[in-house]
Structure 1
Amino acid sequence: MSVEKGLRGRVYEPEKVEFFEFDIPVLKEDEVLIKVKSSAICGSDLHIFKGKHPSAPLPVTIGHEMAGDVVRFGAGVTNLAEGDRVTFEPCIVCGTCDACLHGTYGYCENISYTYRNGEGTMANYVVAKAKYVYQLPDYLTYDTGCLVEPLSVATHAVKRANIRIGETVLIIGAGAIGMMVGAICRKCGAKDVIIADFSDERLAMAKELGATITINSGKIDLEEEIAKLTKGKGVDKSFECVGRESTFLQAMMTLRRNGLATIIGIFENPNITIPASRFVTHEIHVQGAQGYCWDFDDAISIAKEIDMEKFVTHKYPLDQLQQGLETALNPRTGSIKVIINP
């Protein structure tokens, strides 16, 4: 199949989208051309849409959660065939730094992501490196297959936190990542998975996906409620999935002594004030979790055990990308995952 031109969306100024044609390149021997069937809007896309992503100044293409069909591939690709249903891992690593040479490419000194380099998946075609392309099993549709990427983010964060049987976990933020983290924590054996959010609708869905306790932190003081639930002890592990100073503090202050907070949210304002003495008096641990590293295969397996369809709340064609982003940004729409179908 010969394709000469593709169409791709980008944010050129805050809350403004435009489309542009691009030339489909001649594929290198390790590259794959994928016809995009579904591309999900991510929280990072919304930060870009607002012009507030700390690592992606405008203009920038958007989209990195996708599923589609293999159209053609380079001469060196032997593990894929035309028509294969696939998703891909949208990271770019150098392959030569110490981290890459030791197999921990998630810590690459030069790591970037395809959308930041003009290869966004809010498009009808995308080029990917074959080693980062994964075939979709029959239990994943295109719409749920494109959610393997955020599920991999959640999988990576839960692995980093080393969730153990019987632990009590707090997740702040019932977006897609937060709910996925909750579902995986339950499957790892966490006794109590507490999810906090301002939306009763999202909290109801979180319950369906495995949360044992939900808290509307817009109505109830979260720190006081956690103190009651844990008899003053605090939770074993927490996950911050929002990206605000207030939620960072909640993730810290609700921990038991020697507890661990994992920060996943993207902070539009990266400079925050925290009570440093808490690290000393309670010997707490705070770590970050970004992206993935050898997590896609595990996420694909986990997806079989999670009702992934629940996350898909809205769908738009590519030419309505502006409307899709506005829907995802507006809390009154009740959106969880907005899917763009080119």
Structure 2
Amino acid sequence: MRAVVIEEPNKLSVTTVPDPTPGRGEVVVKVTAAGLCGTDVHMLAGEFGPTKYPVIPGHEFSGEIVAVGEGVTAFAEGDKIAADPAIYCGACHFCAIGRGNLCEQWGTIGITVDGAAAEYVKVPAKNCYRLPETVELRHAPLIEPLSTIVRGFDIVDPKLGDHFLIYGAGTMGLLYMQVAQRAGAGSVSVVDINADRLTVAKKLGADHVATSADELESRLGWQVVTDCTGNVKAIEDGLTRPIRGGTFQQFGCAPDQEMAQFSPFRIYNDEIRIVGSMAILHSYGRAVELLGKGVIDSETMITHQFALDEYAEALETFKRGTGRKLQIVPDKAAA
């Protein structure tokens, strides 16, 4: 099969590799589409520590099952699925206390084992979710990023009527915004230096948008401030914005060696809660249901589709901040 392979940091190829075959408890999926995200950029740059090279990227994906391994009874060939990419050991301290996303042997399809930037991908059947009839295969890769948003809301645990400030109107910020609106936010404000992105945020329901939080006014302040950029300057600014007693959530993935400055006195004096949100935990199935109910405007979110041979171009497009969700479509011919 044809696949994208990150051989090592800053070395990418599109080549032919052996077709995957399912082992016990596994299925092979013919990939319909695989989404790109910031993690893929960090992986290629050598900035995401857990990556195991060489690896086929692609952890947001959907497709149709074409082969079923021994012992698989819940799925059959022809089933249309999306899959939680998380792989946990099930035996370490964190798995034992139900925190598999912090697993000591943490793994993910497309990061530590071969993923879906390929014609086919091998997946544990237990990770698969059959798609509702209301969800198109080409929309289903949005389930993975949406599931991380669901996890983020589990951690923040907002109250009805809370006011949100979101840094970043890229894919993750726009998904977060749409969920916040449906979850009963009092208001949702979005900050991004890209004015075109702010236009989309407003279209999708943001109450207020601006290129700087200094331009925004909030009568009560923001109970929840979330960084969806991973940019240190945005993070440092965001840490100054929660109302007293409010919460700052680090949701965006920053390069693993970056450091940010903040005022420890303000954290203490204003009782600011700082929380992280790492990947997926007991949230993928709920994201399937939310996408099926139309919580997300999938058509607006997906803007570009690239062939496998265009993977490098897709990453450059992503880094330029062009569009929203970019997808790799293995069946698509290169332009």
Against the structure 1 CA distance between its residues 39 and 26, is the aligned structure 2 distance closer, same or farther, given a 3 Å change threshold? Answer: closer
Q: Is the 8 A contact 1:88 1:132 kept in 2?
A: yes
SS at match of 2:5: strand
Further displaced range: 95-104 or 125-134: 95-104
Deviation of the 1:164 alpha carbon: 1.8
Q: CA deviation at 1:65?
A: 0.6
Say whether residues 1:329 and 2:319 are aligned partners. yes
For the 8 Å contact 1:48–1:58, the answer to whether it is kept is: no
CA contact (8 A) 1:35 1:125 kept: yes
Q: Deviations over 1:162-181 (max 9, x none)?
A: 12211100110111111111
CA distance in 2, matches of 1:134, 1:188: 24
Structure-2-length-normalised TM-score:
0.92
- Cα offsets for 1:238-274 (capped at 9, x unmatched): 1111112221122211111111111011112432222
Distance 1:67 1:25 in 2: 16
Secondary structure of 1:294's aligned partner: coil
CA–CA distance in structure 2, aligned partners of residues 230 and 330 of structure 1: 31
- Alignment CA distance shift 1:276-1:54 (3 Å): farther
Which of 3, 17, 24 is equivalent to 1:22?
Answer: 17
Name which of structure 1's ranges 304-313 and 253-262 shifts more when overlaid on structure 2.
304-313
Percentage of identical aligned residues: 29
* Aligned residue in 2 for 1:248: 235
Shift of 1:128: 0.7
Find 2:245's aligned residue among 258, 272, 291.
258
- 1:3 is matched with none
Instruction: Please show how residues 1-342 of structure 1 align to structure 2 within 5 Å.
Output: 6-12=1-7, 16-56=11-51, 59-217=54-212, 222=213, 224-226=214-216, 229-231=217-219, 233-268=220-255, 269-303=257-291, 304-331=294-321, 334-342=322-330
- How many residues were matched structurally? 327
SS at match of 1:11: strand
Amino acid at match of 1:341: V
The residue identity in structure 1 corresponding to 2:221 is G
Amino acid at match of 1:308: S
In structure 2, relative to structure 1, the CA distance for the partners of 1:177 and 1:310 (3 Å cut) is: same
1-structure distance, mates of 2:147, 2:97: 21
The AA in structure 2 aligned to 1:210 is G
Give the counterpart letter for 2:315 in structure 1.
L
Query: What is the TM-score normalised by the length of structure 1?
Result: 0.90
For the residues of structure 2 that align with 1:107 and 1:173, how far apart are their CA atoms? 25
Alignment check: 8 A CA contact 1:255 1:261 kept? yes
- The answer to whether the Cα contact below 8 Å between 2:51 and 2:112 also exists between their aligned partners in 1 is no
Measured against aligned partners, the alpha-carbon deviations of 1:89-127 in whole angstroms (never above 9, x if no partner) come to: 111110112332343322322212122223121111111
* Structure 1 residues 311 and 297: alpha-carbon distance in aligned structure 2, compared to 1, 3 A threshold: same
* Cα gap change, 1:57 to 1:105, in 2 (>3 Å): closer
What amino acid maps onto 2:284 in structure 1?
F
Q: Do the aligned partners of 2:147 and 2:284 also contact (CA within 8 Å) in 1?
A: yes
Structure 2: runs of 5+ lacking an equivalent: 331-335
Cα distance in structure 2, aligned partners of 1:311 and 1:305: 12
Name structure 1 gaps, 5 residues minimum: 1-5
> Alignment partner of 1:146: what SS?
helix
User: Displacement, 1:44?
Assistant: 0.7
Q: What RMSD in Å do the two structures reach over aligned CA positions?
A: 1.8
Q: 1:15 Cα shift?
A: 5.4
AA aligned to 2:224 is K
Distance in 1, Cα, partners of 2:106 & 2:167: 27
CA distance in 1, matches of 2:178, 2:20: 40
Give the Cα–Cα distance (whole angstroms) in 1 for the partners of residues 9 and 81 of structure 2: 32
